[in-house]
């Protein structure tokens, strides 16, 4: 048997049409965090979650510009150059079957706002399975939408590149240009893409909806509330931190399959989020996920882990603190930087220096919209 024979046989075999994927990206991330006891993340936006269970391609390049839509007017307002992670810029105005779409996520970075609502049903392996999902993503002005990002679908060697498409006109959303964008490999699925503001794109995808899916998607998009100024409320606030730290992202979930709510606030010394970072996660305490304590903070058993590694030539430093039960809340504080020296200006005493700066607001009524003071 020659090398060429084997190559051909394997290539033929690899081309076997795959069944729908059972890979769940969101679950893998959640499990990884739990196993590493980092637990600073609970979910991803539903678009990713759904993509994880979908077979085949999820993104690619739109090589041609969307068709012109002279009937639709460009929105008068400008899209923000960057979003404020502490402000709820957008929110759902209407959702189908609202009682079932209980798991709601709001994730905000400086570049995009993600909203998702998901219905779960009991599944195998003792974990809930998402069956219906609606996901909306708004991009800051100039940000490249996911459906326009280049990607290789079949091989990282670039052997096969596929495109989102076809792109066809959709009825205007709130008077703004809108398009249906096909998803390769999923003929029945489309993304609704529209200008929510001048210079800013929005994308809406849905899975598991019944009835006239496109009409439902248009209704969700049309009812979307954009331009909100409501401050996001947190069950904690921080005082006295380095003034160099700024909020780079936030995430809040409620009615999740695993927990009633969670909040995450990420701070960074650089606006692009690539500098030394501090993350604070607060969620309801869960005795089943308790850590083995190796220290105490504020009289509470806690676990601190510091890791300095040089992996594949890239240095990485992490300083984590887990406090499993303070007034019924679980707290996770994480500092990440290239080295311990790089992290020092962020918090000289590391996570142990951050913890005293944290004030909790256990009662929902007492949550604050000023998490940084």
Conformational region of residue 162, where left means phi above 0, alpha means psi within -120 to 50, and beta covers everything else: beta
**How far is residue 246's CA from residue 266's CA, in Å, rounded to a whole number?**
8
Contact between 126 and other proteins (CB under 8 A)?
Answer: no
Q: Where are the alpha helices (DSSP H) in the chain?
A: 3-14, 25-35, 46-53, 213-223, 340-343, 351-354
Contact between 44 and other proteins (CB under 8 A)?
Answer: yes
Quick note: the x/- pattern for other proteins over 240-259, rule CB under 8 A, is: --------xxxx--------
User: Do 202 and 139 touch, CB atoms closer than 8 A?
Assistant: yes
Return the number of the residue (51 or 176) whose C-beta is nearest other proteins. Answer: 51
Q: Which of residues 144-203 bind other proteins (CB under 8 A)?
A: 146, 149, 151-157, 185
CA dihedral (306, 308, 309, 314) in degrees, to 10, reads: 120
User: Do 264 and 280 touch, CB atoms closer than 8 A?
Assistant: yes
Contact between 284 and other proteins (CB under 8 A)?
Answer: no
Helix (H) or strand (E) holding 208: none
Rounded least distance, CB 292 to other proteins, Å: 19
Under rule CB under 8 A, how many of the chain's residues touch other proteins?
70
Contact between 273 and other proteins (CB under 8 A)?
Answer: yes
Rounded least distance, CB 61 to other proteins, Å: 12
Quick note: the x/- pattern for other proteins over 50-89, rule CB under 8 A, is: -xx---xxxx------------------------------
Which of 7, 64, 370, 373 is the binder for other proteins (CB under 8 A)? 7
User: Do 267 and 245 touch, CB atoms closer than 8 A?
Assistant: yes
User: Do 159 and 151 touch, CB atoms closer than 8 A?
Assistant: no
* Phi, psi dihedrals of residue 268, rounded to the nearest 5°: -150, 155
Rounded least distance, CB 6 to other proteins, Å: 4
Rounded least distance, CB 293 to other proteins, Å: 22
Residue 22's alpha-carbon distances to 32, 52, 54, in angstroms, are 17, 8, 8
Rounded least distance, CB 151 to other proteins, Å: 4
Q: For binding to other proteins (CB under 8 A), which residues are involved?
A: 1-14, 16, 18-19, 21-29, 31-33, 35-36, 40-41, 44-45, 48, 51-52, 56-59, 107, 109, 111, 146, 149, 151-157, 185, 248-251, 264, 266, 273, 277, 279, 311-312, 314, 316, 334, 336
């Amino acid at each position: 048997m020659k090398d060429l024979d084997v190559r051909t046989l394997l290539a033929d075999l690899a081309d076997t049409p795959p069944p729908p994927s059972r890979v769940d990206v969101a679950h893998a991330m959640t499990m990884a965090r739990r196993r590493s006891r980092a637990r600073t993340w609970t979910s991803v936006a539903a678009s990713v979650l759904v993509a994880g269970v979908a077979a085949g391609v999820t993104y690619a390049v739109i090589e041609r510009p969307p068709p012109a839509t002279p009937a639709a007017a460009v929105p008068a307002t400008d899209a923000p150059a960057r979003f404020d992670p502490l402000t709820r810029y957008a929110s759902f105005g209407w959702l189908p079957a609202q009682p079932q779409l209980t798991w709601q996520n709001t994730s905000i970075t400086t570049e995009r706002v993600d909203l998702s609502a998901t219905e779960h049903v009991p599944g195998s392996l003792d974990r809930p399975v998402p069956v219906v999902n609606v996901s909306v993503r708004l991009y800051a002005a100039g940000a490249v939408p996911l459906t326009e990002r280049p990607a290789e679908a079949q091989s990282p060697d670039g052997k096969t590149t596929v495109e989102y498409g076809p792109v066809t006109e959709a009825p205007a959303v709130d008077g703004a240009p809108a398009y249906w964008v096909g998803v390769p490999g999923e003929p029945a699925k489309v993304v609704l893409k529209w200008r929510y503001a001048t210079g800013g794109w929005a994308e809406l995808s849905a899975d598991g909806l019944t009835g006239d899916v496109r009409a439902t998607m248009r209704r969700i998009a049309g009812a979307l509330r954009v331009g909100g100024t409501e401050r996001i409320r947190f069950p904690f606030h921080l005082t006295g931190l380095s003034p160099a730290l700024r909020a780079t992202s936030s995430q809040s979930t409620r009615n999740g399959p695993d927990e009633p709510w969670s909040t995450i606030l990420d701070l960074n010394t650089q606006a692009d989020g690539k500098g030394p970072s501090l993350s604070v996660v607060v969620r309801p305490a869960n005795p089943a996920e308790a850590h083995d304590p190796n220290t105490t903070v504020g009289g509470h058993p806690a676990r601190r882990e510091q890791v300095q590694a040089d992996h594949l030539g890239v240095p990485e430093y992490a300083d984590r603190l887990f406090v499993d039960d303070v007034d019924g809340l679980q707290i996770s504080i994480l500092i990440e930087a290239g080295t311990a020296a790089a992290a020092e200006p962020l918090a000289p005493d590391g996570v142990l220096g951050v913890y005293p700066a944290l004030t909790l607001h256990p009662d929902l009524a007492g949550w604050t919209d000023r998490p940084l003071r």
